[in-house]
């Protein structure tokens, strides 16, 4: 799943860095919106399990997601307040899905509707998240509807994303076993981490939501 704690240090950053972060978030939101449009357009026209969603989006989504490595660099350099290890693990899990699963094992990924639902969950989440930070960095306040979306849509998007990711990993295990048994065992281990990981992140998001919603009511 995506980084959830990418709060920026806009107040303490020089104007040039703040402008960079604002543009980075704006471009990222546009790119993820384009993925969402591409997935929905092709899926509605050809079917979400036809394989066309994969054919049309796999390389495009893989390249855009790979660009999220910058999130780790932002955290490492202190440009944002996101914890380095948390950001690294979240970005790495996405890279596993687009490179280790989607790219390496197209036979188990291509015709699965879970590939489309994963991209939908990711893209909606990222459009909201990056748009939110564009307004934060502009320093003029975040629209109420965007704050609501950021702290409420995870009720649907997070379970959808996790379910899609785990299903794609599970489907890839037989092919991974043939390629290298060690890889298959690693995938089983990764699947096992999703259970405590889901609980930890979901309860964290609930606490964040409670704080934000309570502050808005004051």
List active site positions. 158, 165
Residue identified by tokens 């298959």 is 184
Helices (H), strands (E): how many in the chain?
9, 0
Tokens of 10: 């806009």
How far apart CA 38 and CA 60 sit, in angstroms, is 10
Phi then psi for residue 8, to 5 deg, are: -90, 155
Contact present, 210 and 152 (Cβ < 8 Å): no
How far apart CA 216 and CA 218 sit, in angstroms, is 6
Contact present, 58 and 103 (Cβ < 8 Å): yes
How far apart CA 97 and CA 115 sit, in angstroms, is 10
């Amino acid at each position: 799943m995506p980084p959830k704690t990418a709060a920026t240090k806009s107040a303490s950053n020089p104007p040039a860095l703040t402008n960079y972060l604002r543009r980075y978030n704006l471009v990222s939101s546009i790119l993820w919106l384009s993925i969402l449009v591409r997935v929905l357009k092709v899926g509605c026209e050809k079917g979400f399990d036809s394989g066309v969603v994969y054919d049309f989006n796999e390389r495009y989504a893989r390249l855009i997601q790979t660009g999220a490595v910058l999130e780790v660099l932002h955290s490492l350099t202190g440009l944002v307040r996101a914890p380095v290890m948390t950001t690294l693990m979240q970005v790495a899990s996405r890279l596993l899905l687009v490179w280790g699963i989607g790219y390496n094992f197209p036979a188990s990924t291509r015709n699965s509707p879970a590939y489309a639902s994963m991209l939908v969950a990711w893209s909606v989440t990222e459009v909201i998240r990056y748009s939110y930070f564009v307004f934060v960095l502009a320093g003029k306040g975040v629209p109420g509807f965007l704050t609501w979306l950021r702290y409420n849509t995870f009720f649907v998007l997070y379970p959808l994303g996790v379910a899609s990711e785990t299903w794609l990993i599970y489907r890839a295990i037989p092919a991974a076993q043939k390629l290298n048994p060690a890889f298959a065992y690693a995938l089983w281990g990764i699947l096992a981490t999703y259970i405590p990981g889901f609980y930890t992140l979901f309860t964290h998001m609930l606490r964040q939501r409670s704080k934000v919603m309570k502050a808005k009511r004051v």
